[in-house]
A and B are shown apart, each in its own frame.
Chain A
């Protein structure tokens, strides 16, 4: 069954279609949630809440082709509200995959630097880079998700890239 057909069925209230859809998108929404809250427990909570919100509002989704942007939008809003309402400090979790990886030391250092540079970015730049470079959304879709005008999204994206570049060239990051 095509995605679009599944979405149409889910919009009409078909539970199985909804579950299949959300199953097929779980890695995407988990990673996005994780990039906001930065630890597993909170990311799982955000995924649960976003799933709930998606479930109760899918009947309002007018255009099935926007399912992905709509779902990511819900996930991001949930994550932002979660951070705001819990007023928690966000603790970083190391990514075991990278730590135990087979990369050589230079590559690893480079990756950690890039990770730190991303984390130093203000949220408004960072989220656009994540959506564009990592999740493969188009500028137009990002403008839809975040509610910024298209030109603002483009400007912020390139500005964000420049900030990362400056950060990487600007010497050492004091974090370990």
Chain B
């Protein structure tokens, strides 16, 4: 049969001549090394089945971290199975921690309500197994509107996204959404709150877990701000490219507007004049900013769709 002969020739002349890169051995060894680490980890891992919540609350007191007792008390009923790694304070922003990994899955996110506080619990896995440590995270909060931004690195999957609808049942959570991220080893998502809030991050290991405890703060009268922001784009590559163009601007953030589209905000100012001034000075360095608009927003206002 002719086609089989053709394939045979193709195999000899083409398929078998696919260049095998010289660096393949490095990659093989990296794979083996990663496997060795994994095995060593497994062998030294003492199985802790169902360490009681009471014990983990005890840990909160025994580990010498200056935790606020109110938070410790609130830890009852929270499905924590691991050991405490660190407690991060509201004042240190962005709050970071976790371990640098690759290929993890932000597997599950849930909301536990207790004592007028809401706890966001995040679990990690790799190949359907629980991760020993939380993946590297950065958590930051911002205002206008009240937002908590999560940036989690070394993850390639985001199964927890399926739980987003459920999260909106919380008293304080108005919205939760994933941000477009062009880096495929990073996941970013944001939570928009109805009211001002304070929060605390508690990180656990074995299994890796993050608990973000939210608490309402007294509302103080704040003036509106003037934001320099891009037009709105649907969730997709375009918004990612706009963000790349102003990548070096540290204050930038991605927000969802009232119609569910996305925008990049560069900065916020108290007066319109200041905002205009800044916008003009940025335009030279970042031509894309010339298309940006200035928007006035109050503390809880969701950006409009421009």
Chain A residues engaging chain B, CB cutoff 8 angstroms: 15, 18-19, 22-23, 26-27, 30-31, 34-35, 40, 44-45, 47-56, 85-88, 95-98, 101, 103, 107, 110-111, 114-115, 129-130, 133-134, 161, 164-165, 168
**Contact between B28 and A26, CB atoms less than 8 A apart:** yes
How distant is B244 from chain A, measured CB to nearest CB, in Å?
A: 17
1/0 contact string of B5-42 vs chain A (CB within 8 Å): 01111110111111111011101111110111011000
**Residues of chain B in range 23-81 having any CB-CB distance to chain A below 8 Å:** 23-25, 27-32, 34-36, 38-39
Do residues A114 and B27 form an inter-chain contact, with CB atoms below 8 A?
Answer: no
B3, B14, B18, B157: the one within 8 Å of A30 (CB) = B18
Interface residue from B10, B24, B27 paired with A115 (Cβ < 8 Å) = B10
7 A-B contact pairs sorted by A residue (CB < 8 Å):
A30-B24, A53-B127, A97-B18, A98-B13, A111-B13, A134-B11, A161-B4
Do B18 and A31 touch across chains, with their CB atoms under 8 A apart?
yes
A27 touching B20 by the CB < 8 A rule? yes
Instruction: Assess whether B31 is in contact with A52, with CB atoms less than 8 Å apart.
Output: yes
B31–A114 contact, CB under 8 A?
no
**A95 and B7 within 8 A (CB):** no
B residues bordering A, Cβ < 8 Å? 1-4, 6-11, 13-21, 23-25, 27-32, 34-36, 38-39, 103, 127, 156-157, 184
Instruction: Point out which of A19, A45, A114 has the most chain B C-beta atoms below 10 A from its C-beta.
Output: A114
Measured between beta carbons, the chain A residues less than 8 angstroms from B39 are 55-56
- When C-beta atoms are compared, the residue in chain A nearest to B12 turns out to be A134
Assembled-state Cα–Cα distance A107/B12 (Å): 13
A40 to B39, CA, bound (A): 29
> Are B20 and A48 interface neighbours, CB within 8 A?
no
Q: Is the CB of B38 within 8 A of A86?
A: no
Tell me, rounded to whole Å, the shortest Cβ–Cβ distance linking A26 to chain B.
6
CB-based contact B156/A47 at 8 Å: no
Chain A residues with Cβ under 8 A from B32's Cβ? 15, 18-19, 22, 51-52, 55
Q: In the complex, which of the residues B1, B7, B35, B157 contacts A52, with contact meaning CB atoms closer than 8 Å?
A: B35
**Assembled-state Cα–Cα distance A161/B10 (Å):** 13
Cross-chain contact A47 with B24 (CB below 8 angstroms): yes
A165 CB to nearest chain B CB (Å): 5
How far is it, in angstroms, between the C-alpha of A95 and the C-alpha of B11 when the chains are bound?
Answer: 13
Tell me the complex Cα distance, A105–B24, Å: 32
A-B CB contacts (within 8 Å), total count = 125
How far, in whole Å, are A88 and B156 apart by their CA atoms in the complex? 12
Looking at chain A's contact residues, the main secondary structure is helix
Instruction: Report the Cα distance A48→B31, complex, angstroms.
Output: 5
Candidate in B23, B31, B34, B38 with the most chain A CB atoms within 10 angstroms: B31
Whether B36 lies near A55 (C-beta < 8 A) is: yes
- B26 vs chain A, min Cβ distance (A): 9
The listed residue (A51, A56, A87, A111) touching B14 by CB distance below 8 A is A111
Taken together as a complex, chains A and B put the C-alpha atoms of A88 and B16 apart, in Å, by 26
User: What residue in chain A is nearest B30 (Cβ atoms)?
Assistant: A48
What CA separation (Å) do A18 and B32 show in the bound complex?
9
| Distance to closest chain B CB from A161 (angstroms) | 5
Nearest-CB distance from A106 to chain B (Å)? 13
User: In the complex, which residue of chain B has the Cβ closest to the Cβ of A55?
Assistant: B35
**Least CB separation from B15: chain A residue:** A134
Please give, as numbers and ranges, the residues of chain A lying within 8 Å of B4 by CB-CB distance: 133, 161
Is there an interface contact between A111 and B10, defined as CB atoms closer than 8 Å? yes
**A19: nearest residue on chain B (CB-CB)?**
B32
| Contact among B13, B16, B27, B127 for A48, CB-based, below 8 A | B27
What 9 A-B pairs have minimum CB-CB distances, sorted nearest first?
A: A51-B31, A55-B35, A97-B17, A52-B31, A48-B27, A48-B31, A133-B7, A52-B34, A134-B15
Q: Which residues of A lie under 8 Å from residue B38 when comparing CB positions?
A: 52, 55-56
A34 CB contacts on chain B under 8 angstroms: 18
Q: What is the chain B residue whose CB lies nearest that of A44?
A: B27
Within the assembled complex, what's the spacing in Å between the Cα atoms of A56 and B32? 9
Shortest C-beta distance, A12 to chain B (Å), equals 13
Q: Which residue in chain B gives the minimum CB-CB distance to A169?
A: B3
Q: Which A residues are in CB contact (< 8 Å) with B16? A: 31, 134
Contacts of B10 in A (CB 8 A): 111, 114-115, 134
Bound: A105/B13 CA distance, A: 14
Contact between A103 and B3, CB atoms less than 8 A apart: no
Contact with B103, one of A44, A49, A114 (Cβ below 8 angstroms): A49
A26 to B14, CA, bound (A): 18
A95 near B18 with CB under 8 A, answer yes
